[in-house]
Amino acid sequence: EKGFDSALEKLTVCPDISTFNLKLSFLINTEKYEEACLLYESEIVNFNFDTETKRLFALALLAVGRVQEAEDTINEAFQEQPEWEGV
């Protein structure tokens, strides 16, 4: 967990979707689910969220008990990538 926290300190800016997803992943791995939800919901970014972003957001939503929103997000991701096993 210390490694994730250290990485989070360095990930202050997310210039692309891969970095954004990495930050969401680190937040989830350190059980900072509320923070992950807030990041997804409030971050002003210059790119569109991809299927992986939505999958990670759904995991965070489930962890904080927002089950219906998690299901809606997974359904949206599944519509984008119906054959992707990660969804």
21-48 confidence digits (pLDDT tens):
999 999 999 999 999 999 999 867 778 8
**Cβ neighbour number for residue 77 with a 10 Å cutoff:** 23
Taking all residues of the chain, what is their mean pLDDT, rounded to a whole number? Answer: 89
Per-residue pLDDT at 22: 94
Per-residue pLDDT at 30: 93
User: What percent of the chain shows pLDDT beyond 70?
Assistant: 93
Per-residue pLDDT at 62: 97
As a residue count, the chain comes to 87
What is the pTM for the complete model shown? 0.86
Nearest C-alpha neighbor of 12 from the set 23, 28, 27, 25: 23
